[in-house]
Structure 1
Amino acid sequence: MSNLLGILPFTRLLIEQTVQPGDLVVDATMGNGHDTLFLARLVGPKGKVLAYDVQQEAIDKTKKRLKEAHCLSQVQLLHKGHETVEEELQYYGQPLSAAMFNLGYLPGSDKTVVTQPETTLAALGVLARYLKPGGLITIVVYSGHAGGKTERDALLAELGQWDQKQYHVLQYRFINQQNDPPFLVAIEKR
């Protein structure tokens, strides 16, 4: 038994403490739909989840997962990159409460289709502008794949420069694990 939460449970704990029913949230990397469903349950039927992925396979798996859980109505599934998030956010009359990223590739799929530093950083810049005070962006960084270390390094370099008067930026990681373990970066708007 460990008193330290793993990366994914700690990420979800932070999001649970931030998101309320009726909120607007983003799943920037839909994948297999686990975070999309998690967010849909948190915002409830009066909230909205904008969920992004560039792969049709991710859309299909997520839609099936949401239908089975009776949570599809509060989710907008978007078959495009997260760097386009402003196209949707500008139409909502409420600030963003939270956003979640899992960087890397779609588990069980083509490992050559991966998140890119340019699009990730572009999406983060937009999301940070729409984030309400006390709002949270979580980024689980998987860097053990081709291009993963480049994206990790670009992300950390960029976020290390964000104004501490506007954002708290946390890194949560286990430093004694081998083989590029995932870690969390959490951004809270002050």
Structure 2
Amino acid sequence: MGFLSVLSQAQRWVKERAGPGDCVVDATAGNGSDTLFLAQSVGPRGRVFAFDVQAEALENTRRRLAGEPDGKALAPAELVLAGHETMEAALPAELHGRIAAVMFNLGYLPGASSPLITLPGTTLAALEAAVRLLRPGGALTVVVYPGHEGGKDEADAVEAWAAELPQTTAQTVVYRFPQKPASPYLIALTKR
């Protein structure tokens, strides 16, 4: 039996900390996989916010949510056409400090018509905002992709940021397959 993929491990850790009725954030909507997972996890009494700078990504996410088979009750999802670094300003003030989980899947939108990538500066600002938004015990997951141009710089910046977080703020972990240095890996935290 092998280990879970980094995406499956991220979902597992979120599922352990976010449940029915919670409010959660997909910081990088992309093709909607994490948004759908979050909407299923928190159910119809929950709430999901999904951010992306590309309208194409939000349309992909909308289609994925709409294509969910009948019988699966999803949380309502608010799709926000904005960078993840704006999430703190975009979320209602009454939700600050009450978010159960924030998921990031960095890199670029597979199959996109334009080659946009996430960048260290905006990603680090978004991570800082996410920590402030999380409730105690809340989870933050970041899947980084060092194998594409610019990806290693961003992965290194995120890992350094996580290592420098005070232990009184959060417990951090890196989940990685060291035999594949260019493959995606997971950086996660639980807020104290």
Per the normalisation by structure 2, the TM-score is 0.92
Does the aligned pair in 2 maintain the 1:105–1:111 contact within 8 Å? no
What are the superposed Cα offsets for residues 125-174 of structure 1, whole Å, 9 maximum, x if unpaired? 11101211110000001111111111111112222111012210100001
CA distance in 2, matches of 1:74, 1:48: 6
**Equivalent runs, 1:13-92 vs 2, <5 Å:** 13-69=12-68, 74-92=76-94
Of 118, 128, 131, which residue of structure 2 is paired with 1:128? 131
Shift of 1:112: 2.7
Residue 190 (structure 2) aligns with: 188
Shift of 1:93: 4.0
Shift of 1:24: 0.8
Spell out structure 1 runs of 4+ moving beyond 3 A. 70-73, 90-94
How many residues are paired up? 188
CA distance in 2, matches of 1:138, 1:158: 13
Shift of 1:88: 2.4
Matched, 1:176 2:179: yes
Does the aligned pair in 2 maintain the 1:19–1:97 contact within 8 Å? yes
Shift of 1:5: 1.4
Matched, 1:137 2:136: no
Structure 1 vs Structure 2 CA RMSD:
1.6
Does the aligned pair in 2 maintain the 1:30–1:58 contact within 8 Å? yes
CA distance in 1, matches of 2:33, 2:20: 18
Does the aligned pair in 2 maintain the 1:63–1:72 contact within 8 Å? no
Of 142, 153, 156, which residue of structure 2 is paired with 1:150? 153
Shift of 1:111: 6.6
CA distance in 2, matches of 1:61, 1:93: 26
* Structure 2: gaps spanning 5 or more residues: none
- Code of the aligned partner of 1:77: L
**Equivalent runs, 1:79-118 vs 2, <5 Å:** 79-93=81-95, 95-110=98-113, 112-118=115-121
Does the aligned pair in 1 maintain the 2:103–2:142 contact within 8 Å? yes
Does the aligned pair in 2 maintain the 1:15–1:98 contact within 8 Å? yes
Shift of 1:72: 6.9
Deviates more, 1:31-40 or 1:91-100: 91-100
1:109 match: secondary structure: coil
* Structure 1: gaps spanning 5 or more residues: none
CA distance in 2, matches of 1:10, 1:111: 29
Shift of 1:13: 0.8
Matched, 1:166 2:169: yes
